[in-house]
């Protein structure tokens, strides 16, 4: 792998671009929907154990790509797990942009299953804020593998009607695969059948498709 850092994108510029990320779907009048427009957005250093995945799988070759990419960037004075903005990268094949993983705070209805006490709260629920990895699962998995913190783009105050497309799951449910699983049930707790409409279109940030597929893209 040959990767050269061509340019740094400062946080102030990156934050403004994030606010312009639309949903894949449009509203009833055909207008774009911007779920982050009025959100609270900041950079935060967190340990991956503090975050909830939104996927049951990671791809081994993409995880290895992140290991290799980090090693190359460290030689140039950058840590892909501790970015303070975005990096414009050049490889022999393409130009690409790397930014911190994206974490969204979603208020999810959580059931109380008291497995460390003797009082039964079956049927009791509450809306609890959950910090969910929206984008950058492979780097979060790498940080967890290294037992180290990572810098994320932390987004909260997102409109209730524009949730992340998948419900959170536990790290204990995440498995490493050689290829993307074939069925919805193997991939995620999808929020609904047409969950694609809830995808955030990170293409506007120069980062490719939601799952990081396609040529010239860093699998996040």
| Residue 44: strand, helix, or coil | strand
| 193 — pLDDT class (breaks 50, 70, 90) | confident
Query: CA 139 → CA 51, 84, 150, 161, 162, distances in Å?
Result: 12, 15, 8, 28, 25
Please say whether the beta carbons of 131 and 216 come within 8 A: no
Spatial separation of the C-alpha atoms in residues 81 and 125, rounded to whole Å = 35
Torsion-angle region of 92 (φ positive above 0: left; ψ -120 to 50: alpha; else: beta): alpha
Q: Model-level pTM? A: 0.90
Given a cut of 70, whether residue 24 has pLDDT beyond it is: yes
Spatial separation of the C-alpha atoms in residues 75 and 207, rounded to whole Å = 23
Rounded to 5 degrees, φ, ψ at 61 are -65, -30
Spatial separation of the C-alpha atoms in residues 39 and 204, rounded to whole Å = 17
Partnered with residue 128 across adjacent β-strands are 108
Mean model confidence pLDDT for the chain: 92
Q: How do residues 54-108 score in pLDDT, each as one tens digit?
A: 999 999 999 999 999 999 999 999 999 999 999 999 988 888 899 999 999 999 9
């Amino acid at each position: 792998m040959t990767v050269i850092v061509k340019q740094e994108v400062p946080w102030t510029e990156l934050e403004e671009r994030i606010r312009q990320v639309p949903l894949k779907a449009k509203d009833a009048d055909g207008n774009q929907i911007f779920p982050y427009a009025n959100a609270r957005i900041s950079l935060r250093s967190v340990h991956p154990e503090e975050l909830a995945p939104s996927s049951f799988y990671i791809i081994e070759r993409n995880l290895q790509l992140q290991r290799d990419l980090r090693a190359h960037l460290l030689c140039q004075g950058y840590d892909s797990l501790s970015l303070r903005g975005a990096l414009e990268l050049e490889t022999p094949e393409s130009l690409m942009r790397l930014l911190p993983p994206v974490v969204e705070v979603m208020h999810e209805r959580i059931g109380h299953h008291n497995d460390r006490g003797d009082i039964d709260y079956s049927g009791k629920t509450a809306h609890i804020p959950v910090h969910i990895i929206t984008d950058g699962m492979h780097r979060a998995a790498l940080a967890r593998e290294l037992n180290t913190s990572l810098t994320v783009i932390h987004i909260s105050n997102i409109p209730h009607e524009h949730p992340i497309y998948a419900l959170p799951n536990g790290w204990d449910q995440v498995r490493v695969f050689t290829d993307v699983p074939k069925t919805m049930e193997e991939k995620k707790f999808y929020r609904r059948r047409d969950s694609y409409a809830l995808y955030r279109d990170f293409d506007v940030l120069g980062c490719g498709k939601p799952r990081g597929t396609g040529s010239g893209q860093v699998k996040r």
